């Protein structure tokens, strides 16, 4: 088995005294795990940072063997680790990808979207821009794993107009008229999830409430304590920064 590809590092776990197990998202082969000899060395530590874009070469004698992985830096995002909001966002979105996606299954749309989110975090002058992209990434991940929300029409009436809520049970949109009497049981549906474009902080936090609910319920069922803690840190930092 030999695979040469670009990849986004999503998770790094120490292995023994000197090595590391790295999980990275590739464009055509999904999440791939590899053994990195000397992963704790001064040379490799700056490369083995979640969020970094690397040129990866996986080699294994058999398909059942954990491949050896060699890496070269393509784009480093290590400098963002000194920025609390950016670091929390990268920590969450890469941990989500590493934990939720099965190995070896291709998710080209998620690779492009993750690269876009990381690029936005790196380039955006304000967190509001990349925060909206992060919500859209979570929504896409749910859809790619078979738990997509249906925001195309009202679950009760079938209308495509005035969609204002999301049902926490079905994940379907609900119109203002149909949901008026059940506001306390429904999520507010922010317009940017339907129409695209920019989003205000109130809408971004509404989007985070929706995607957070379905990620916890449908995707991260057995891993909530470990993985969702990173998400909680991100949301808390956004609030402390006066974003919402």
Decide which of 24, 44, 76 is a domain's last residue: 76
Mean of the per-residue pLDDT values of the chain:
93
Print the domain residue range for 117: 80-240
Mean pLDDT value of segment 175-194: 95
Express each pLDDT in 43-90 by its tens digit.
999 999 999 999 999 999 887 889 999 999 999 998 998 999 999 999
What is the C-alpha to C-alpha distance for residues 207 and 204, in angstroms, rounded to an integer? 5
CATH number for 129: 1.20.1440.120
Nearest by Cα to 32 from 81, 117, 109, 104: 104
Last residue of a domain, one of 25, 51, 76: 76
What confidence score (pLDDT) does residue 243 get? 63
* 104 and 157 share one domain: yes
What's the rounded mean pLDDT across residues 25-30? 97
**Does 220 lie in the same domain as 145?**
yes
> 110 with 11, same domain?
no
pLDDT at 222 over 80: no
Beta bridge partners of 113: none
Structure-token pair, residue 156:
């009760």
CB 22 within 8 A of CB 49: no
Residues 190 and 213 in one domain: yes
Segment 95-113 mean pLDDT:
96
Both 97 and 59 in one domain: the answer is: no
DSSP 241: T
Residue 54's CATH number? 2.40.50.140
Query: Are 47 and 144 in the same domain?
Result: no
Nearest partner of 131 among 116, 142, 144, 121, judged by Cα: 121
Which of 44, 61, 76 finishes a domain?
76
pTM of the model: 0.94
């Amino acid at each position: 088995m030999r695979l040469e590809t670009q990849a986004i590092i999503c998770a790094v776990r120490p292995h023994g005294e000197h090595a590391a197990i790295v999980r990275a998202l590739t464009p055509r082969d999904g999440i791939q795990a590899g053994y990195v000899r000397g992963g704790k060395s001064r040379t490799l530590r700056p490369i083995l940072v979640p969020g970094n874009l690397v040129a990866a070469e996986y080699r294994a004698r058999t398909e059942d063997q954990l491949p050896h992985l060699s890496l070269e830096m393509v784009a480093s995002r290590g400098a963002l680790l000194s920025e609390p909001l950016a670091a929390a966002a990268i920590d969450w979105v890469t941990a989500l990808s590493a934990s939720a996606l099965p190995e070896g299954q291709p998710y080209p749309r998620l690779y492009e979207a993750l690269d876009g989110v990381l690029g936005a975090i790196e380039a955006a002058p304000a967190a509001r821009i990349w925060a909206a992209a992060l919500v859209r990434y979570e929504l896409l991940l749910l859809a790619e794993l078979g738990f997509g929300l249906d925001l195309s029409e009202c679950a009760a009436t079938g209308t495509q107009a005035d969609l204002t809520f999301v049902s926490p049970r079905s994940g379907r949109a609900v119109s203002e008229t149909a949901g008026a009497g059940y506001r306390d049981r429904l999520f507010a549906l922010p317009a940017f999830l339907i129409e695209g474009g920019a989003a205000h902080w109130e809408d971004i936090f509404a989007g985070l409430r929706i995607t957070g609910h379905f990620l916890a319920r449908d995707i991260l069922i057995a891993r909530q304590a470990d993985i969702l803690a990173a998400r909680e840190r991100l949301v808390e930092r956004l609030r402390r920064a006066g974003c919402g």
